[in-house]
């Protein structure tokens, strides 16, 4: 099956700093989503971005499908950004479920 | 609020018991997915239903079963529970295939 690798596995930032999270995947996809899992366990949709670039406030994401990677940018980080960020993809054939990476655990300290 | 509703939010039960987790998808969504998140296995896909029919199966144990009812809500049944079944169980839904899916808040299951 498709493989999803996220880096870095852990990240500690000072409040106000910027960061880039990366997601590599092993096959062509037609669905790629970024999620934020907050400390209470909730999985929050950030972006649906199988290709191209999107921005939502301090967050933006870029997927280069031909090179099989996606990047999530967090600017001016806040303590509320802490949690685990997951990338999930579905293969570009038929009806296949989302496969999740292992996530990047982000801790933003004041 | 994603619009996906899961009950119960927390559940503690003993080994060998059976539990049922319930999910109501977002209004208009025909596809329901179940995922298990445990500390050592990450987020694992269990099973998917589309408009009442099973469409994809992942790493779901034989002790687990699911169904989607005519009103599109879904239930995940876990039986002969073991300590290792303790996990956060998510339900997600989408309108159809290969579009964004939205997750419920999860059901925390603790087996003691």
pLDDT greater than 90 at residue A97:
no
Task: Read off the pLDDT of each residue in A93-105 and give the average, rounded to a whole number.
Answer: 85
A38 neighbourhood in chain B, CB within 8 Å: none
pLDDT greater than 70 at residue A93:
no
Distance from CA of A34 to the nearest CA of B (A): 10
Helix/strand/coil for B83? helix
Residue A59 φ/ψ, nearest 5 degrees: -105, 145
Cα distances from B22 to residues A1, B8, B34, B90, in angstroms, run 29, 7, 10, 10
Cα distances from B51 to residues A105, B67, B73, B102, in angstroms, run 35, 10, 10, 17
Task: Read off the pLDDT of each residue in A59-64 and give the average, rounded to a whole number.
Answer: 98
Q: Does B100 touch chain A (CB under 8 A)?
A: yes
Beta strands B64-68 and B31-38, pairing class: unpaired
Q: Are B109 and B13 in contact (CB under 8 A)?
A: yes
pLDDT tens-digit series, residues B23-53: 999 999 999 999 999 987 789 999 999 999 9
A44 neighbourhood in chain B, CB within 8 Å: 2
pLDDT tens-digit series, residues A31-57: 999 999 998 999 999 999 999 999 999
Q: Does B112 touch chain A (CB under 8 A)?
A: no
Q: Does B106 touch chain A (CB under 8 A)?
A: yes
Q: What is the pLDDT of residue A95?
A: 66
Three-class DSSP labels, A34-91: EEEECCCCCEEEEEECCCEEEEECCEEEEEEHHHCEEEEEECCCCHHHCEEEEEEEEE
Q: What is the pLDDT of residue A92?
A: 67
pLDDT tens-digit series, residues B10-20: 999 999 999 99
Before A42, cis peptide (omega within 30)? no
pLDDT greater than 70 at residue A77:
yes
Before B8, cis peptide (omega within 30)? yes
Share of chain B above pLDDT 90, in %: 87
Helix/strand/coil for B29? coil
C-alpha–C-alpha distance, residues B75 and B79, integer Å: 13
B103 neighbourhood in chain A, CB within 8 Å: 35, 42-43, 45
Under the banding of pLDDT at 50, 70 and 90, the label for residue B95 is confident
Q: What is the pLDDT of residue A44?
A: 94
A95 neighbourhood in chain B, CB within 8 Å: 48, 50, 55-56, 97-98
Q: What is the pLDDT of residue A94?
A: 58
Q: What is the pLDDT of residue A96?
A: 75
Q: What is the pLDDT of residue B9?
A: 97
Q: Does B108 touch chain A (CB under 8 A)?
A: yes
């Amino acid at each position: 099956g498709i493989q999803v690798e996220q880096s870095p596995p852990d990240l500690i930032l000072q409040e106000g700093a910027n960061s880039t999270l990366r997601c590599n995947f092993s096959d062509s996809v037609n669905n790629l989503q970024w999620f934020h899992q907050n400390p209470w366990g909730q999985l929050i949709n950030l972006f649906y971005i199988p290709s191209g670039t999107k921005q939502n406030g301090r967050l933006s994401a870029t997927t280069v499908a031909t090179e099989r990677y996606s990047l999530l940018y967090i600017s001016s980080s806040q303590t509320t950004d802490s949690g685990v960020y997951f990338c999930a993809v579905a293969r570009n054939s038929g009806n296949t479920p989302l496969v999740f990476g292992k996530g990047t655990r982000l801790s933003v300290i004041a | 609020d994603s619009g996906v509703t899961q009950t119960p939010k927390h559940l503690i039960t003993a080994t060998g018991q059976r539990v049922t987790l319930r999910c109501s998808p977002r209004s208009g969504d025909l596809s329901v997915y179940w995922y298990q998140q445990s500390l050592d296995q990450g987020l694992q896909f269990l099973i998917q239903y589309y408009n009442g029919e099973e469409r994809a199966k992942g790493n779901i144990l034989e002790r687990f079963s699911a169904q989607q009812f005519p009103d599109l809500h879904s239930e995940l049944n876990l039986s002969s529970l073991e300590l290792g079944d303790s996990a956060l169980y998510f339900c997600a839904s989408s309108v159809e295939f290969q579009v964004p899916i939205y997750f419920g808040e999860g059901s925390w299951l603790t087996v003691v």
